Amino acid sequence: MKIGHLKVMLLALIVLVLGNSGGKANGSVSSFTLKKISGINEKGPYLGIVIPNAFELDPLLQSSSFVADPHHPFVDFSGRRFRIGKLERQKVILVMTGLSMLNAGIATQLLVTLFKVKGVVHYGIAGNANPKLQIGDVTIPEYWAHTGLWNWQRFGDGPDDELSLESNGDYTRKIGYLDFSDFNNKTAEGKFVDNLLNNVWYQPEEVFPVFGHPETRQHVFWVPVNQQYFAAAQKLESVKLRGCVNTTTCLPRNPVVTRVKRGVSANVFVDNKAYREFLNSKFNATPIDMESAAVALVCFQQKKPFITIRALSDLAGGGSSLSNEASIFASLASQNAVDVVIRFVALLSS
């Protein structure tokens, strides 16, 4: 029995909870869909392309570089459409996640569970925490972290006080914290006062690697991208990017592609200068988004090589010389991200 058939049969045993003669049931994979997936996997393996939203997906679908499979152009399952085709001679499966860490994690898990995927490329737009870069630049971080998992400390406790459940190994003070009082306005007497919000301590994720012992957790905060992918991405720094939205709205310089050290994600749209500056100084973060760390964590647990390419659409919280409206530059940033992804996939094919 071939591995592809075995994988689909195992999946069927897991998810078919209420089968009937028609092969349809709530919460199940129909026999028709299973057969279709099996046929697709026979032609694999594929490179998975994970995209957050339609305005980031559409430029890729409209590109002449993407050619849909003539026999199986897509599979719909669990609210997602998995598009099958070729991109720069690479067999690919595209999936749009939707907004947020939860959606990104679910879509990525479905992708690597249902299909024979050899690696994952994630792309989209992002806020910028690094004032040295500008709107339109495309960043490729080496590490990703989820910065939305907090242990919120009670008022009165400080950095030397043990966190709740820390002694059980559930939480840590190793990564560091945000002290809300650091961002207080001064009082009339010119003194800072404690903030009732106190401190939040950043926490690593619990992960259960696919090749590990079941229910034996590990912890990870910074998830590295695949080093071969990251090394190949250096060749993208010569890619020429678009600098104008239209004939009258252009950036002060041509955007660039650059590899950076770190990106961060959380279920927060960051449009706040103080928090942006904190993320940059604390974590050396450049792109800030709501999905990439979820994709990274799923790929880390499933032992799938991955890389993320994020174009900067705004300086989070403002402060640049540009009109800092993400809505103005989102289309340009999306197209720049797509252009870089196409070139990256071409590198993998060469």
User: What is the per-residue pLDDT across 213-242, written as a single tens digit (0 to 9) for each?
Assistant: 999 999 999 999 999 999 999 999 999 999
265 and 289 in contact (C-beta within 8 Å)? yes
In what order do the strands lie in the sheet containing 177-179?
150-152, 199-202, 177-179
- pTM of this prediction exceeds 0.75: yes
Please state, in angstroms and rounded to a whole number, the distance separating the CA atoms of residues 224 and 227.
8
Please state, in angstroms and rounded to a whole number, the distance separating the CA atoms of residues 40 and 227.
28
| Runs of H (alpha helix) within the chain | 3-15, 31-42, 54-61, 101-114, 227-232, 273-283, 292-302, 326-349
Residue of 282, 299, 304, 307 whose CA lies nearest to 138: 307
Which CATH number applies to 37-146+208-348?
3.40.50.1580
State yes or no: cis peptide before 287, omega within 30 of 0: no
276 and 270 in contact (C-beta within 8 Å)? yes
**For 11-53, what is each residue's pLDDT tens digit?**
554 444 334 434 454 457 888 899 999 999 999 999 999 999 9
Q: How confident is the model at residue 187 (pLDDT cuts 50, 70, 90)?
A: confident
Please state, in angstroms and rounded to a whole number, the distance separating the CA atoms of residues 215 and 282.
32
| Mean pLDDT rounded to a whole number for the chain | 91
- In the chain, CATH 3.40.50.1580 sits at 37-146+208-348
Q: How confident is the model at residue 329 (pLDDT cuts 50, 70, 90)?
A: confident
For residue 323, pLDDT over 90 is answered with no
